[in-house]
Amino acid sequence: MKRIIFTFRHTLHIVVASIAVELGLDFGAGATAAILAPFVGAWIYGLAGVIVVGSLPFLGLNVARVARREWRRHRLIADD
């Protein structure tokens, strides 16, 4: 039971860190668009939107990959 809790907490930490990085990149794209808009035009907002929406599937894939890896590791250690 202790190993399951450890694996769950470790997976949760990695998922939260991944979401934090993703949000940082998204806010960075929005802030960059807001700063550059007066110089390059309003189309930069559309580009920032594409970056934000386009990055969401990668976040989901990364979370699923990390969770699968951690639970596989847990299962291998539990079998020993």
CA of residue 37 relative to chain centroid, distance: 26
Predicted pLDDT of residue 23: 86
- Which pLDDT tens digits describe the chain residue by residue (80 residues)? 777 787 788 788 888 888 888 888 888 888 888 898 899 988 999 988 888 888 878 777 877 887 788 778 777 776 65
Give the CA distances from residue 56 to residues 9, 48, 63, 80, in Å, rounded to whole numbers and listed in that order. Answer: 23, 13, 11, 37
Predicted pLDDT of residue 78: 63
Instruction: Please measure the distance between the N-terminal and C-terminal CA atoms of the chain and give it in whole angstroms.
Output: 15
Whether the Cβ atoms of residue 77 and residue 69 lie closer than 8 Å to each other: no
